[in-house]
Amino acid sequence: MAGMKFEYDEKGGTFYYFLLSFCALIVIPATYYLWPRKTKKDDEKSKRQCYCEPCLLKRTHVNSKDSYSNLKKRATQVVLIIGWVILIFLAYKVSTLELDHVEYDPFVELEIDREASQGEIKKAYRKLSLKYHPDKEGGDPHKFMRIAKAYAALTDEESRNNWMLHGNPDGPGATQFGIALPKWIVEKENSIWVLALYGLAFIIILPIVVGTWWYKSIKFSADQILLDTTQLYLFFFHKTPNMIIRRVIMILAGSFEFEKSHNNEIVERPSDNEELPPLMKYLPNLQEKNKEKPLCFPYSVKARILLHAHFSRLELPRNTLELDKNYILKKCPYLVNEMVNTVAQLVALAYAGRAQHLPRLETVENVMKVSQMLVQALWETKSPLLQLPHISEDMLKHFVTRKRNIRSIKQFASMNEEDRRLLLRTLSDSEYRDVMNVCAQMPHIDLTIKSEVIDEEDSSITAGSIVTATVTLVRKNIEEMFNIDGGEEEEDGEEKEEGQENDNEEEEDQEDEENKEANEVTDSPKRKTKPWEKQQKKKKGKGGGKNKKKAPKQPYKRPVATNGNAPGQGDQNTGVSSEGVEDVPKKPKKEKNSDREDGSESENESDSDVSGGENEKDENEDSHKEGGEDDDEDPEWMKKFQKQAKKENSLETKSKISHSVHCPYFPLDKQEYWWLYVADRKNHQLITAPVLVTSLRDTEELQITFKAPDKPGIYQFSVNLRSDSYMDFDITQNIKLDVKEAKKIENHPQWDISDEEDENKDDEDEDVTDSEASSEEDSDEE
């Protein structure tokens, strides 16, 4: 057997092939994925941008970051260009290399064609042998040997077979392996340095890198939240099952992400001792004297001050506190989401009997309200109209007069264009255009629900069964529902409007002065009903007094029911609001049990019940109807399990891009997210863990599963959709479940087997298996 011989690259030729391949594997994919691409400018989006002062400041701040990103793009381009230069150089170097090994070909040696006859081969051999014979002048012994070898390969049968099989007339030689590495790597003189390099890379550097990464990663959860922060949330939410909003803010400020020893990005400024005390005078209810740890620590008090200043929209020093506030706000959406997950986890533990206190529904909803407050920089008691640009608190007194009662953005959008422009007559045309552009792009959600039990035989809801609620969300802009023009009127229309404003300005001013004291706007959720509102309500309530008395806080919500619905849904909304009346008497009781911050729930709920309601039908009838229509196409069980498979993959691969939120006081570009969950408002309980919907652009279908009550009866639950970015856009829709008694399992006689019979049967089975095994062995022997 022929031996083997290893050869290293002494000239460095084959090493260039290795470098070329390695460089191509890096440069080509990197260019495809990392080469900066120009973003196409959307003219329509630029036209609809808001040009209020806070938005301009935010865009300036973002553009300053863009300069760094532009520098990063240029550096990426330079690195990729250098990589391509190296790749081209290596390709040129490889193309100019001389091949050391040339495949042996006897026809080339004899300088004849492959189709030459034996006579032509002999003639060529004689001619070349005379020319290169070593005894003659100018002879070449090496060339002569190759000629003789070639002639033998073409005339001798054995030599010809060796050449055909092994490429050599003499037969197989030593196998040679070329290694594309420079020879100096394996030389004795350099062996110590090569081993030292390997040891440094794999024994020292690699363990240090892996250890550092592991030590940092074990401190964080999958959502990059500190595990210490999660433990903090678990402790306080378990300690306080019914938590008010200000308490949630206090715990949020106590997150360890804002503490220097847990987060090296935190900057402790000496100027804080001079800038924070004067700021605290403008912020009541800070509770800075709280003695609970870590809520009393300086980092927590500072974060709480900055959050309160953000909610109050106070201006801070740009180079110190403003930077710290922006850093805290960037972290807060992830921390709030972790709070929601923590409360849901405690609810699950309480249902399983592993937690002592069951968190109330108001607690998780207050956490979600804090998310809205963070994005919009508003206290929960403020008017949601302040989310629009150029609208100040002084202007709100014109929204509630004897002629109008505008308290929500949807009511404002449903106004007549002339009345709306007259209401905002103090704004210039460009400011009014900003208001309408922002209002037009705010969300209007259509929510439909279908609840069923996914089963092969019976889809009716029985006691203890798993109910699947299929929720379909349709997102539209408010401009599609109310035909808002976006504030882009023609010049003639503007002139007519200005004329109307001048004619009615004195009348409006006089009316506002008369109603200034009586109709002063207060956004507190516990606002007492004014006497004239009670009179209006009694007049409207003839023929339906009972239902009207049960919802005393909803007189001004009625316009939303007519204007805020999608076409063709007015009857459905009326039906749901009548069904939802059963829960309304419980709301005053909830307000007594909870603190002041919890009171705004009644207003948001009543508004969302009217805008997002749907008349409920019997689920069995719906399932029978759908099954009857499609029985000829697919089996019912196949459809149900296809839906189940769709549910499992519904939220795993979703993107996190939906619609940009108008939030000039939030330092980042915020996308619209929504929490979807089922609740029992009568008992103040959370039924399902909130699902964060991050990709609601147009339409989204989700499935939520929960356990039906253990006792038969008619139960009412609410499906809730809450925004994490906008205030007063939450939707609550009631669903009724007709829970029937579970079918009794028939006890067949063959199931009644005693323990002794089980043992005897097992023994018989063993005997049978032994006999079968022995019979098989006997058959094998035969």
Give the burial string for 104-140 (b: 16+ CB within 10 Å, else e): bebbebbebeeebeeeebeebbeebbeebbeeeeeee
Average the pLDDT over 645-649 and give the result: 52
Q: Sorting pLDDT into bands at 50, 70 and 90, what band is 254?
A: very high
Question: Is the bond preceding residue 294 a cis peptide, omega within 30 degrees?
Answer: yes
The CATH H-level superfamily of 106-166 is DnaJ domain (1.10.287.110)
Average the pLDDT over 442-446 and give the result: 93
- Residue 776, pLDDT > 60, answer no
- Residue 600, pLDDT > 70, answer no
* Per-residue pLDDT at 561: 32
Q: Which pLDDT tens digit goes with each residue over 129-154?
A: 888 888 777 778 888 888 888 887 77
Least confident piece of the model among 327-331, 501-505, 725-729: 501-505
- Residue 25, pLDDT > 80, answer yes
* Per-residue pLDDT at 529: 43
CA 44 to chain centre: 26
Q: Sorting pLDDT into bands at 50, 70 and 90, what band is 47?
A: confident
* Per-residue pLDDT at 747: 64
Contact at 8 Å (CB) between 702 and 650? yes
- Specify the DSSP element, H or E, that contains 335: helix 321-351
Identify any residues that bridge with 6 across adjacent strands, giving them in sequence order.
177
Average the pLDDT over 531-543 and give the result: 39
* Per-residue pLDDT at 533: 41
- Residue 515, pLDDT > 60, answer no
- Residue 22, pLDDT > 50, answer yes
* Per-residue pLDDT at 62: 78
Q: Helix or strand or coil: residue 705? A: strand
Least confident piece of the model among 82-86, 109-113, 476-480, 750-754: 750-754
Identify any residues that bridge with 519 across adjacent strands, giving them in sequence order.
none
Q: Sorting pLDDT into bands at 50, 70 and 90, what band is 374?
A: very high
Q: Sorting pLDDT into bands at 50, 70 and 90, what band is 231?
A: very high
Scanning the structure block, which residue is given the tokens 């909870």? 594
Domain spans of the chain? 4-95, 106-166, 187-217, 219-359, 378-534+549-569+580-744, 752-781
Q: What is the mean pLDDT of the chain?
A: 76
Record the tokens describing residue 143, joined without a space: 């060339």
CA torsion angle 314 317 322 323 (round to 10)? 180
User: Rounded to an integer, what distance in angstroms lies between the CA atom of residue 699 and that of residue 331?
Assistant: 29
CA torsion angle 379 383 387 390 (round to 10)? -120
* Per-residue pLDDT at 693: 94
| Phi, psi at 451, each rounded to 5° | -110, 140
- Residue 694, pLDDT > 50, answer yes
Q: Which comes out higher in pLDDT, residue 748 or 561?
A: 748
* Per-residue pLDDT at 341: 95
State percent of the chain over pLDDT 70: 67
**CA angle at residue 310 from 306 to 314, to 5 degrees?**
100
* Per-residue pLDDT at 235: 95
* Per-residue pLDDT at 535: 39
Q: Sorting pLDDT into bands at 50, 70 and 90, what band is 255?
A: very high
* Per-residue pLDDT at 657: 87
* Per-residue pLDDT at 557: 34
Contact at 8 Å (CB) between 731 and 721? yes
- Residue 595, pLDDT > 60, answer no
Q: Which comes out higher in pLDDT, residue 235 or 70?
A: 235
* Per-residue pLDDT at 631: 42
Contact at 8 Å (CB) between 469 and 449? yes
Average the pLDDT over 181-185 and give the result: 73
Average the pLDDT over 97-124 and give the result: 74
Q: Helix or strand or coil: residue 5? A: strand
* Per-residue pLDDT at 136: 77
State percent of the chain over pLDDT 90: 41
Q: Which CATH number fits domain 219-359: 2.30.290.10, 3.10.20.600, 1.10.3380.10, 3.40.47.10?
A: 1.10.3380.10
* Per-residue pLDDT at 623: 41
* Per-residue pLDDT at 153: 78
Q: Which comes out higher in pLDDT, residue 75 or 622?
A: 75
How many of the other CB atoms lie within 10 Å of CB of 218?
8
Strands, DSSP E only, in 618-760?
674-680, 685-686, 691-693, 699-707, 713-723, 731-739
Q: Which pLDDT tens digit goes with each residue over 343-368?
A: 999 999 999 989 888 999 999 999 99
Least confident piece of the model among 437-441, 589-593, 662-666, 771-775: 589-593
Greatest mean pLDDT among 94-103, 111-120, 252-261, 747-756 lies in: 252-261
Average the pLDDT over 670-678 and give the result: 95
* Per-residue pLDDT at 591: 39
Helix residue ranges per DSSP H, 35-52: 43-47
* Per-residue pLDDT at 501: 43
* Per-residue pLDDT at 536: 41
Q: How far is CA 685 from CA 359, 643, 689, in A?
A: 8, 28, 11
Average the pLDDT over 317-339 and give the result: 94
- Residue 748, pLDDT > 50, answer yes
- Residue 95, pLDDT > 60, answer yes
Average the pLDDT over 604-624 and give the result: 40
Average the pLDDT over 731-759 and give the result: 74
Average the pLDDT over 154-175 and give the result: 70
Q: Which comes out higher in pLDDT, residue 504 or 214?
A: 214
Long-range contacts: 162-170, Cβ < 8 Å, 24+? 163/104, 163/106, 167/103, 167/104, 168/104, 169/106
* Per-residue pLDDT at 644: 54
> How long a stretch of residues is the chain?
782
Q: Which comes out higher in pLDDT, residue 127 or 206?
A: 206
Q: Which comes out higher in pLDDT, residue 177 or 487?
A: 177
Record the tokens describing residue 32, joined without a space: 């495809």
Greatest mean pLDDT among 450-459, 477-486, 556-565 lies in: 450-459
User: Rounded to an integer, what distance in angstroms lies between the CA atom of residue 578 and that of residue 407?
Assistant: 23
- Specify the DSSP element, H or E, that contains 32: helix 13-34
* Per-residue pLDDT at 401: 87
Q: Helix or strand or coil: residue 306? A: helix
Q: Sorting pLDDT into bands at 50, 70 and 90, what band is 548?
A: very low
* Per-residue pLDDT at 104: 66
